[in-house]
């Protein structure tokens, strides 16, 4: 999120896309409702008649998969009506003229035909968004779990960029994460292309730092995604898999393909609190402790780090996830340091190697002294590629 959660209630114009936040993100929904009570404009883009739509000034009940046409039509209206932030565009974006040309075909009539949303409502939403002093975009998996998910997000980012709604309080692009602590998992490096702190595995500088810290040479190539891993299992390129805290047979859309992939493995390890359908297919099952049974930390959607404290002992042989992984690693004799005695030591290592956690430790988090905003290094977003079928031309910011 480019804003903190408390800022939401001071946002004068909110565009909520593909998010049933009253059920899935109730704390954030409370902030949105408070903003509405203060007089904020609210527009909801969702094919369903969700509870939030009842509070909205406009419900854009879109056809599935037509998000790009809708958002690009809004961008065209904003530019045509001269509502874009010229100074911001000039100083902090690139490719604006190319984007403007790309949007020529995204007329209100075209968007209405594709999306099913009346052109008058699309125009109203665009005018309100472009006219607002500050505007916030809030979206969830409703627009990302598509084959065009990246394009959906790019077109939303372009709306924020052309109106100057990044880098302001209560204005920005805010993905509401799909599960608790998924932000923390990404921060910790649970991604195929990043070390902890979103440091690229293909970067020689990053790789050298982690090789020095861990004492072993590291692969210079990116890992594979979960989807690719299942495909590799089916065709025999992947022989073993370790699944942590996910019932893959239930959560993946293609059950037959997932079943075939797991049954094709030579060795399957599942680490979970429950004997799930996936765990029943495993060669080894490690019983994992629940979050109420361990010490650690969660990082929420707006990157707020919160301590969690053990409230009860885990039952039976259940152990914390970090302990299970460390104990297996020790027995593999890999040469990597896994001599951790507590989750605190794991966090200390993360903080020492990851700039986004630099200077943090459990004591400082507990003290409450770190609540607030902190400057970050300047990030330059690479330009989005433009193709005839894509959602967007180029837009980036410094």
Q: How much is the pLDDT for 381?
A: 38
pLDDT along the chain (398 residues), means of 10: 90 95 92 96 96 96 94 97 95 91 96 97 98 95 83 94 92 87 88 94 96 92 94 97 95 92 98 97 98 91 87 96 94 83 94 91 79 46 36 34
Q: How much is the pLDDT for 133?
A: 95
Spell out the domain ranges in the chain: 5-175, 182-367
What's the CATH fold of domain 182-367?
Rossmann fold (3.40.50)
d(CA 57, CA 389): 31
Q: How much is the pLDDT for 146?
A: 80
Indicate the CATH number for domain 5-175.
Answer: 3.40.228.10
What DSSP character marks residue 168? B
151 CB contacts (<8 Å, ≥6 apart)? 68, 390, 391, 392
Verdict on whether the full-model pTM lies above 0.85: no
Q: How much is the pLDDT for 253?
A: 79
Q: How much is the pLDDT for 370?
A: 61
């Amino acid at each position: 999120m480019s804003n903190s959660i408390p800022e939401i209630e001071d946002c004068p114009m909110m565009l909520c896309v593909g998010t049933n936040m009253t059920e899935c993100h109730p704390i954030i929904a409370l902030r949105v409702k408070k903003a509405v009570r203060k007089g904020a404009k609210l527009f909801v883009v969702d094919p369903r008649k969700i509870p939030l739509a009842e509070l909205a000034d406009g419900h854009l009940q879109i056809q599935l998969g037509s998000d790009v046409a809708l958002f690009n039509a809004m961008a065209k209206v904003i530019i045509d009506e001269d509502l874009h932030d010229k100074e911001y565009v000039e100083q902090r974006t690139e490719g604006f003229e190319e984007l403007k040309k790309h949007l020529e075909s995204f007329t209100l009539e075209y968007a209405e035909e594709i999306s099913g949303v009346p052109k008058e409502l699309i125009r109203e939403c665009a005018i309100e968004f472009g006219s607002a002093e500050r505007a916030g975009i809030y979206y969830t998996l409703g627009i990302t779990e598509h084959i065009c998910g990246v394009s959906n997000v790019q077109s939303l980012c372009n709306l924020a960029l052309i109106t100057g709604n990044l880098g302001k309080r209560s204005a920005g692009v805010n993905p509401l994460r799909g599960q608790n602590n998924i932000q923390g998992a990404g921060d910790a490096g649970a991604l195929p292309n990043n070390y902890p702190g979103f440091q690229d595995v293909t970067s020689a500088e990053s790789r050298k730092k982690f090789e020095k810290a861990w004492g072993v040479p590291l692969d210079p190539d990116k890992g594979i995604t979960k989807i690719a891993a299942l495909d590799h299992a089916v065709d025999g390129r992947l022989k073993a898999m370790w699944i942590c805290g996910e019932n893959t047979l239930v959560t993946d859309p293609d059950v037959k393909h997932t079943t075939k992939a797991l049954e094709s493995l030579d060795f399957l390890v599942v680490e979970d609190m429950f004997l799930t359908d996936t765990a029943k297919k495993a060669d080894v099952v490690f019983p994992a402790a629940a979050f109420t049974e361990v010490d650690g930390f969660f990082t929420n959607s707006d990157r707020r780090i919160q301590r969690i404290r053990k409230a009860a002992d885990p039952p039976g042989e259940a152990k914390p996830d970090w302990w299970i992984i460390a104990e297996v690693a020790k027995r593999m004799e890999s040469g990597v340091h896994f001599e951790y005695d507590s989750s605190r030591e794991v966090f200390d290592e993360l903080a020492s190697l990851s700039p986004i956690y630099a200077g943090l430790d459990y004591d400082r988090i507990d003290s409450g002294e770190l609540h607030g905003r902190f400057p970050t290094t300047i990030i330059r977003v690479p330009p989005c590629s433009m193709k005839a079928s894509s959602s967007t031309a180029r837009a980036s910011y410094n």
